[in-house]
Copies of this chain bind each other. A is one copy, B any other.
Amino acid sequence: MSLSGRQLRSQIDDDGRLTLFLEQVETGEPEDDEIIVRVEAAPINPSDLGLMFGPADLTTMQPVDDHRTGLRFDVPHRRLASVRGRLGQPMPAGNEGAGIIVAAGKNVSLAIGSRVGMIGGAMYADYRRIKAQEAIPLPPDATAADGASIFVNPMTALGFVETARREGHKAIVHTAAASNLGQMLQKICLTDGIPLINLVRSQEQADILHRIGAAHVIDTREADFAARLTDAIEETGATIAFDAVGGGTLASDILQAMERAAVRRASEYDRYGSTVFKQLYIYGVLDLSPTTLNRLAFGFEWSVSGWLLIPFLERFGPEVRQAMRDRVVRELKTTFASRYTRVIGLAEALEPDVLRAYERKATGEKFLIDPTRG
């Protein structure tokens, strides 16, 4: 059985224009180990926006109706080089989602009519054909909305904790900490007894974290931010940070606070800085500007690195990955509950006002696409 349905795509052409449009596509027959899922829910994550809009200038948005129907944007010429690899290719969007199995290959044990969560891209669509082993069966009481964000945020939050543990750190610093991901991380850390220092940028964000039991919440806009961060690091012994911001001096400020806390504890002066190893992982791009490291303030025992979910999951190995998936399913309605502020249809994602709203990434707002709404 092959099914025909819509798929949201983003394409940048050689002329420097990005088009976001719906394409009618055939799923094709499922292979023996594949299923076809009717998508009922797919979240809009920051990483999805990266693929949908690339380096386009969103202020140039215009409706278009030529060989494609949708929205068109200009990509500034100087930014085209960074996306050379995708020019002329229609990129289907939507990292993860959930839905009902409507067809299955002969080797598949999952039942038609049952609900699964999925990772793998192209989820902003009516149907998604996928390998059964890449789908996670949802518990019977879970809605599609419950299972839509089963992968990226939960596995990333668990991945941070696993990374910290493997690399020998006993407490964690997290930036942009009031996000859905940040709240999951805080809940995991409370359960697992790992001190977490949350960095936020508003009282509203601090309140979100305090309500779920956060012990350390520091507002980076406060005048005594550096001093408070240093104190919290000295108290908890945090030597690893996960940073969603990336740009500016925040990463450097965190490493400097870790160094100051280490020097306070050191018994003798070392001109090369403390002997405490400090690791900062950048996993997001909330600030697109360059990262500025005032490295003279934190010696030589440090590392700043990119952190990306899939390669880290590979490193952990199959057993740890399975244990992580099992925990996500088990705690789907507690630790890993996602809250959506607005549910939209697939066609609505191409309405200019709706697009501007989900693109804004405001604190506490989270959109879910439900293609069954039209």
Q: Which residues of A are interface residues toward B (Cβ below 8 A)?
A: 50-51, 54, 82, 84-86, 89, 91, 246, 252, 263, 266, 268-272, 275, 282-283, 285, 288, 290-297, 299-308, 311
Residues A252 and B86 in contact, CB atoms below 8 Å apart: no
Residues B308 and A300 in contact, CB atoms below 8 Å apart: yes
Chain B residues contacting A294 (CB-CB under 8 Å) are: 290
Chain B residues contacting A292 (CB-CB under 8 Å) are: 290-293
Residues A271 and B50 in contact, CB atoms below 8 Å apart: yes
Name 26 A/B residue pairs within 8 A (Cβ), A-sorted.
A82-B296, A82-B297, A85-B263, A85-B268, A85-B270, A86-B271, A89-B269, A246-B295, A252-B290, A275-B311, A282-B295, A290-B292, A290-B295, A291-B292, A291-B295, A292-B293, A293-B293, A300-B308, A301-B308, A301-B311, A302-B305, A302-B306, A303-B303, A303-B304, A303-B306, A304-B304
Quote the shortest CB–CB distance from A275 to chain B (angstroms): 7
Secondary structure of the A side of the interface? mixed
Q: Report how many copies the assembly holds.
A: 2
- Give the residue among A271, A283, A292 with the most B Cβ atoms within 10 A: A271
Considering the complex of A and B, which 5 residue pairs feature the smallest CB-CB distances, nearest first?
Answer: A85-B269, A300-B306, A303-B305, A300-B308, A291-B293
Quote the shortest CB–CB distance from A114 to chain B (angstroms): 31
Known A-B contacts A292-B290, A293-B290; the reply to A51 vs B271 at CB < 8 A is yes
Residues B85 and A266 in contact, CB atoms below 8 Å apart: yes
CA distance A363 to B288 in the complex (A): 38
Quote the shortest CB–CB distance from A91 to chain B (angstroms): 8
Known A-B contacts A85-B270, A295-B290; the reply to A307 vs B300 at CB < 8 A is yes
Chain B residues contacting A91 (CB-CB under 8 Å) are: 271
Chain B: CB-nearest residue to A266: B85
CA distance A288 to B293 in the complex (A): 11
CA distance A285 to B271 in the complex (A): 13
CA distance A374 to B292 in the complex (A): 46
CA distance A307 to B273 in the complex (A): 12
Chain B residues contacting A301 (CB-CB under 8 Å) are: 306, 308, 311
CA distance A271 to B301 in the complex (A): 31
Chain B residues contacting A82 (CB-CB under 8 Å) are: 296-297
Quote the shortest CB–CB distance from A360 to chain B (angstroms): 21
Quote the shortest CB–CB distance from A57 to chain B (angstroms): 16
CA distance A85 to B275 in the complex (A): 14
Chain B residues contacting A266 (CB-CB under 8 Å) are: 85
Residues A288 and B299 in contact, CB atoms below 8 Å apart: no
Chain B residues contacting A305 (CB-CB under 8 Å) are: 302-305
Chain B: CB-nearest residue to A306: B300
Quote the shortest CB–CB distance from A75 to chain B (angstroms): 14
Chain B residues contacting A297 (CB-CB under 8 Å) are: 82
- Give the residue among A85, A275, A300, A311 with the most B Cβ atoms within 10 A: A300
Quote the shortest CB–CB distance from A20 to chain B (angstroms): 15
Quote the shortest CB–CB distance from A9 to chain B (angstroms): 14
CA distance A86 to B288 in the complex (A): 38
Chain B residues contacting A302 (CB-CB under 8 Å) are: 305-306
Residues A86 and B304 in contact, CB atoms below 8 Å apart: no
Quote the shortest CB–CB distance from A178 to chain B (angstroms): 23
Chain B residues contacting A293 (CB-CB under 8 Å) are: 290-293, 304
